[in-house]
Amino acid sequence: MINKTVRSVASHLSWGAKIGLICLIIFSLAAIFAPLVAPYPQDEILGEVWEPISSSYWLGTDQLGRDILSRLIHGARNTFFIAGAATLLSFFMGTFLGFLAAVSGGKVDQLLSRSNDLMMAIPTLIFALVVLSVLPSSMLVLIFVMGVLDSTRVFRLSRAVAVDIVVMDYVEAARLRGENSLWIIFREILPNALSPLFAEFGLRFAFAVLFLSTLSFLGLGIQPPDADWGSMVKENKDGIVFGIPAALIPAAAIAILTISINLVVDSILSRTSSLKGGR
Amino acid sequence: MPATQSQFLEVQGLQIEASINVPGEARKTLRLVDNISFTLEKGKVLGLIGESGAGKSTIGLATLSYGRGGCNITGGKILLDGEDILSLSAAEVRNIRGTRIAYVAQSAAAAFNPAHRIGDQVIEVAIEHNLMSKAEALAYANVLYEKLGLPDPQHFGQRYPHQVSGGQLQRAMTVMALCAKPDLIIFDEPTTALDVTTQIEVLATIKTAIVDTGVAALYITHDLAVVAQVSDHIMVLRNGKMIEYGDTDKIINHAVQEYTQNLVSVRTLEKPEIADPDTSAILQVKHIDAAYDGVNKILKDVSLHLHAGQTLSIVGESGSGKSTLARVITGLLPQLNGEINFAGTNLSTNLSGRSKEQLRELQMIYQMADVAMNPRHTIGQIIGRPIEFYFGVKGAENRRQTIDLLDQIELGEKYFDRYPAELSGGQKQRVCIARALAAKPSLIICDEVTSALDPLVADGILQLLMDLQLKHNIAYLFITHDIATVKAISDSIAVMYQGSLVRFGKKSKVLAPPFDDYTQMLLASVPKMELGWLERILANRKMQSADN
């Protein structure tokens, strides 16, 4: 039964999506079982600075002599969890408020949209720096700040998508039936807005990974010696001048992650938009 | 070339296929057009008629050697003056398109580029193919504007598409097709998007243009009455196959095939008029004024009433305020003045001021069934929701009642888990009827419910609506621009023109002389399924100044 479901899902995915899905599964497994999979602890100095790829250090060592593969595997936890949670939070907030603005219209729409504009007027990075330097540095605060700041973009997208849907006859039919706003948001609009939101999710997640690395670099994100992929790029970037590829490895990991997510999302997109005649 | 003048266009065994590719499934090939053959002489018109999906437009485009998105011409020959245009190279085909064969699309409003002047677009083909100099082309276009009765022909080409009416734009498109002096023109439903009163003008000009220039024409439409006016021969198509092919008189008066006979005799539905009962009306609209911006009145002092279990039809052209009246009654647009009485109580002007019971009693069915249903809900969810919402019925009992409704609309249980996209146009409209019915209303507003449907399907929907009316004693407020529908189903009729009520009363009174000018024109403009109707109408009425 389960085997059958898996096979039917797999048959609907394009080959690109299958590759993406496999990469994501490998990354997730590595993140979940990090202490078991990683050959060394993430914060132990093992060898020389920037050692090349060898049989003992599969991906070489970093600027302090730590094993890059081990840091990559441990860093996946932080990167996945924080960027993922922040993106999810931003989507929950952004879409709900965006749909609410579109459904309510008038004053509610103006209030929400203009406050959103106000938030967007302040450069995100500076806003984040100010808030994070005041608040205690914990993972939850980090997720919350990143999520709220990112939700402004999601708000704009979801409002724009919903404004188009709100004028459809089936939404009018629901209103004439006397349905309340929550029903209209979750049952009439949401299912029809999923495709553009999915697409945006893939993109936003990639941005969240990069934003997290920026914050880490400035000392407000993940605190050393904990690893995350973005900060590993920053730490090792000086090596590039000397022809040392250490920075490119975590960068490649970020690239593979982003591409994988987008491959999977694209496939979901073409599937949802073709079969049920929706957007 | 060996071709004689008499067989200018010859299509032999045309076959067109499309392959659909759903991810994860095997490639499927659909045959859209199957073994179609016909010939066409210069100066003659062949009408292609059929329901949507019959392959009419596909055949029309194939004569341009063009297959729309994914359609492949897989067999047959299309001989133009004896030369098979399917075997030509892309460059040669490019030379033929526009200059020898021209195409007039259904929606002129969508076919013109809104950012360029009409004149520049009209002469584009002639200049592109170096047939004329720009000055010559402009001069010739002006002659054609005049011939097709467009206002101010010397300056018409300087206007932008949004500055002229829909009927004028459709005529401008005919000018565009004629400008390069082609030998064959494909008219693809050129009057379908127009009001009846405008349609007659466009039909007349198309007919004169064909006679004057001596081109051959393919006229594609779903309206047999229209095609009977313009064509010499008619081919009836269904599902890509030819049903019947013959001259117009034979098809209209002596059809052999049953399907053709059905098409000819469609709309013979006739509802006997019921006298007004003594009880007071279920819906009373009193002196309604309404405006979208609060200033420009769309509705002016409209008053009418409707009795329980009866049908009131509101007729008028687009822009006459019919749909606005429906929006006022449903509470989507608060009126400026006047009041609405429903089942003895006063309806609040605002949707939020109405009770759930009032909302339940007054249901609505929309013109476009496609967008009236959420594409992500199953049919069961769509019909079951009003039952749950108004009566609190859930679970198995809800399913039972929903299936009961599905049976009433002649669809049945197997549709319960399907999505709207899997249904045909007529089935979708039936589901919308069931959704309205699920609320057990006493009044249903039907906003152009059959105008997006093929005639035979529309007939079925009207029949269903009438059966349900008898069974459940529902009153209908039926908004339409189609006089034939009105005659078929109404008890009383309201004629609207530019936001005012021109005529209102029982059907027998409204449709009997003496008429006011507008009603007279409206009734006279409805194409009749008989030969020579257009000529008689035009002879009867002088072409009024050509500015509509």
- Complete DSSP assignment for B23-39: TTS--EEEEEEEEEEEE
Closest among B210, B184, B205 to B194, alpha carbons compared = B205
Buried b or exposed e, range B311-340, using 16+ CB within 10 angstroms: bbbbbbbeebbbbbbbbbbbbebebeebeb
State the distance between the two ends of chain B, measured CA to CA, in whole angstroms.
45
Directed axis angle between helix A190-217 and helix A229-236, to 10°? 40
Residue from B332, B350, B374, B437 whose CB has the most chain A CBs within 10 Å, to mutate: B374
CB pairs under 8 A between A and B: 69
| Residue of chain A minimizing CA distance to B355 | A178
| Cβ contacts of A182 within 8 Å, gap of 6 or more | none
Of A11, A169, A191, which has the smallest distance from its Cβ to B371's Cβ?
A169
Give the per-residue pLDDT at A163.
Answer: 92
CA–CA min distance A259, chain B (Å): 20
pLDDT reported for residue A10 = 61
Residues of A in contact with B386 (CB under 8 A): 177
pLDDT of residue A65: 82
Q: What is the pLDDT of residue B387?
A: 93
User: For residues B180 and A41, what is the distance between their CA atoms, to the nearest angstrom?
Assistant: 80
The partner residue sitting opposite B375, judged by closest CB among A14, A187, A277, is A277
Query: Of the candidates A230, A224, A186, which has an alpha carbon nearest to the alpha carbon of residue A205?
Result: A230
Burial class (CB in 10 A: 0-12, 13-18, 19+), B84: middle
B2 pLDDT higher than 50: no
Characterise B258 by phi-psi region: left (phi > 0), alpha (psi -120 to 50), beta (else): alpha
Q: Which residue of B has its CA nearest to A189?
A: B374
Q: Using alpha carbons only, how large is chain A's radius of gyration in Å?
A: 22
Q: Judge whether A238 is closer than 8 Å to chain B, CB to CB.
A: no
- Alpha helices in B409-528, H assignment, sequence order: 425-438, 455-472, 483-489, 507-510, 517-525
Cα distance between residue B519 and residue B385, in whole Å = 42
Query: What is the band of B376 on the pLDDT scale with cuts at 50, 70, 90?
Result: confident
CB contact under 8 A, B371 and A277: no
A interface mutation test: which of B376, B391, B433 has the most A CBs within 10 A? Answer: B376
Q: Does B377 touch chain A (CB under 8 A)?
A: yes
* DSSP SS3 for B185: strand
Q: Are A74 and A232 in contact (CB under 8 A)?
A: no
- pLDDT, residue B547, reads 45
Mean pLDDT, to the nearest integer, of A101-126?
92
Q: Sheet with B83-84: list strands edge to edge.
A: B28-40, B9-20, B71-80, B83-84
Comparing A246-250, B63-67, B358-362, B402-406, the range with the smallest average pLDDT is B63-67
Sign of the torsion angle spanned by Cα atoms B88, B94, B98, B99: negative
- The lowest-confidence range among B344-348, B485-489, B530-534 is B530-534
The residue type found at A107 is K
CA-based end-to-end distance of chain A = 31
Percentage of the residues of chain A whose pLDDT score is greater than 70: 92
Q: Does A12 touch chain B (CB under 8 A)?
A: yes
Q: In terms of pLDDT, which residue wins out, B319 or A3?
A: B319
Q: Chain A within 8 Å of B297 (Cβ-Cβ)?
A: no
Confidence of residue A272 (pLDDT cuts 50, 70, 90): low
Q: Check if the beta carbon of residue B216 is closer than 8 Å to that of residue B8.
A: yes
Q: Indicate yes or no: CB of A192 within 8 angstroms of CB of B374.
A: yes
Chain B residues within 8 A of A15 when measuring between CB atoms: none
The mean predicted confidence, pLDDT, of chain B is 84
pLDDT band at B385 (very low <50, low <70, confident <90, very high): very high
Q: What would the pLDDT profile of B221-270 be if each residue is shown by its tens digit?
A: 888 888 888 888 999 988 888 888 888 888 888 888 888 888 877 656 66
Residue at B85: amino acid letter: I
- Residue A80 near residue A27 (C-beta atoms within 8 A): yes
Q: Is the per-residue pLDDT at A269 higher than 80?
A: no
Among B354, B373, B389, the residue with its CB nearest the CB of A170 is B373
| Predicted local confidence at residue B3, as pLDDT | 41
| Pair type for strands B362-365 and B45-49 | unpaired
- What's the token pair of residue B264? 């000819």
According to the model, what pLDDT value does residue A274 have? 46
The answer to whether the CB atoms of B332 and A172 lie below 8 A apart is: yes
- C-beta atoms surrounding B179 within 10 Å: 25
Can you give the pLDDT at residue B126?
Answer: 86
β-pair partners for B443: B362, B475
Taking the CA of residue A43 and the nearest CA in chain B, the distance in Å comes to 46
Beta bridge partners of B16: B33, B73
A13 to chain B: which residues are within 8 Å by CB?
Answer: 23-24
CA-nearest residue to B361 within chain A is A177
Q: Report the length, in residues, of chain A.
A: 279
Strands, sheet with B216-221, edge to edge from the N-terminal-most edge strand: B101-104, B184-188, B216-221, B45-49, B233-238, B241-247
The amino acid occupying position B225 is A
Question: What's the pLDDT score for residue A277?
Answer: 42
Q: Which of B21-25, B88-92, B283-287 has the highest mean pLDDT?
A: B283-287
Instruction: Report which of residues B178 and B382 the model is more confident about.
Output: B382
Mean pLDDT across the stretch B68-74? 76
| Tokens of residue A130, six digits | 């100010």
Rounded to a whole number of angstroms, the distance from the CA of A196 to the nearest CA of chain B is 15
Q: Tell me how close the Cα of A26 comes to any Cα of chain B, in angstroms.
A: 24
Q: What percent of chain B has pLDDT over 90?
A: 13
Question: DSSP secondary structure string, B497-532?
Answer: ETTEEEEEEEHHHHTSSSPPHHHHHHHHHSPPSSTT
CA-nearest residue to B332 within chain A is: A176
Q: Which residue of B lies nearest to A184 if distances are taken between CA atoms?
A: B374
pLDDT value, residue B191: 81
Tell me, what's the pLDDT at B106? 77
- What local confidence, expressed as pLDDT, does residue B542 receive? 53
A188's tokens = 């009439």
Give B-chain residues touching A277 at CB under 8 angstroms. 375, 419-421
Choice between A215 and B537, residue whose per-residue pLDDT is larger: A215
Q: Which of A12, A169, A191 sits opposite B23 (nearest CB)?
A: A12
Amino acid letter for position B104: V
Please say whether the beta carbons of B452 and B367 come within 8 A.
Answer: yes
Residue range B204-208: mean pLDDT, rounded? 84
The mean pLDDT value for A130-135 works out to: 89
* Cβ-nearest to B376 among A14, A192, A270: A192
Q: How far apart are CA B457 and CA B463, in angstroms?
A: 10
Q: What are phi and psi of B96, to 5 degrees?
A: -75, -40
Query: CA-CA distance, B528 to B228, in Å (whole number)?
Result: 9
Q: Note the pLDDT of residue B478.
A: 92
Q: Give the residue ranges of DSSP H helices in chain A.
A: 2-12, 15-32, 34-37, 68-78, 84-104, 106-121, 124-134, 139-166, 169-177, 181-183, 190-217, 229-236, 248-275
Cis-peptide, bond into residue A245, ω within 30° of zero:
no
Question: Hey, is the C-beta of B420 within 8 angstroms of any chain A C-beta?
Answer: yes
Query: pLDDT band at A276, cuts 50/70/90?
Result: very low
Q: What is the pLDDT of residue A63?
A: 80
**pLDDT band (50, 70, 90) for residue A135:** confident
B542 contact A CB<8A: no
Contact yes or no for A177 and B439 at CB 8 A: yes
Smallest Cβ–Cβ distance between B376 and the set A173, A175, A276 belongs to A276
The residue-averaged pLDDT of A8-21 equals 76
- What pLDDT, on the 0 to 100 scale, is given for residue A9? 61
Residue A62 confidence (pLDDT) above 90: no
- Copy the structure tokens of residue B395: 């679970």
Residue among B24, B356, B372 whose CB faces A178 most closely: B356
Select the residue of A169, A267, A275 nearest B368 (Cβ to Cβ). A169
Please give the residue of chain B at the shortest CA–CA distance from A177: B359
Whether the CA torsion B377, B378, B381, B384 is positive or negative: it is positive
Question: Which residue in B has a C-alpha nearest to residue A267's C-alpha?
Answer: B23
Summarize pLDDT for B403-422 with one digit per residue, the tens: 999 998 888 888 898 888 88
Q: Is B256 on the interface with A (CB under 8 A)?
A: no
Q: Give the pLDDT confidence of B3-38 residue by residue, as tens digits.
A: 444 578 888 888 888 876 655 556 777 788 888 888
Q: Is B389 close to A179, i.e. CB distance below 8 A?
A: yes
**Per-residue confidence at A92, pLDDT binned at 50, 70, 90?**
very high
pLDDT at position B268: 61
HSE-up of residue B345 (Cα within 13 Å, Cβ side): 11
Q: Do B359 and A178 touch (CB under 8 A)?
A: yes
Can you give the three-state secondary structure of B84-137, one letter per residue?
A: EHHHCCHHHHHHHECCCEEEECCCHHHHCCCCCCHHHHHCHHHHHCCCCCHHHH
Say whether pLDDT at A171 is over 80.
yes
| Interface subset of A 164-193, CB within 8 angstroms of B | 168-170, 172-173, 175-179, 187-188, 191-192
Q: Where are the alpha helices (DSSP H) in B321-364?
A: 322-330, 356-361
